[in-house]
């Protein structure tokens, strides 16, 4: 095939993620709290939009 020489030059193994020295590793509790707070923000935003649409409708 035409792309075979290109595939042979590729890295044999996948590169691992680069992690910075000061990268934070949040705990499971912090991740759950962040998820729930984000879900709450989306829920409140949706309710506000629905209320605005219903308020402006005839």
Q: How far apart are CA 5 and CA 39, in angstroms?
A: 48
**pTM of the full structure:** 0.56
Neighbours of 48 (CB within 10 A): 10
Q: How far apart are CA 17 and CA 30, in angstroms?
A: 22
According to DSSP, residue 15 is labeled: P
User: What are 39-49's pLDDT values in tens digits?
Assistant: 999 999 999 99
pLDDT score of 33: 97
User: What are 9-39's pLDDT values in tens digits?
Assistant: 555 566 666 777 777 788 999 999 999 999 9
Counting runs of H as helices and runs of E as strands, what totals does the chain give? Answer: 2, 0
How is residue 22 written in tokens?
Answer: 């000061």
């Amino acid at each position: 095939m035409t792309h075979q020489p290109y595939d042979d030059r590729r890295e044999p193994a996948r590169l691992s993620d680069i992690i910075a020295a000061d990268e934070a590793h949040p705990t499971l509790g912090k991740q759950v709290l962040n998820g729930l707070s984000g879900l709450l923000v989306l829920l409140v935003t949706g309710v506000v939009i629905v209320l605005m649409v219903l308020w402006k409708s005839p």
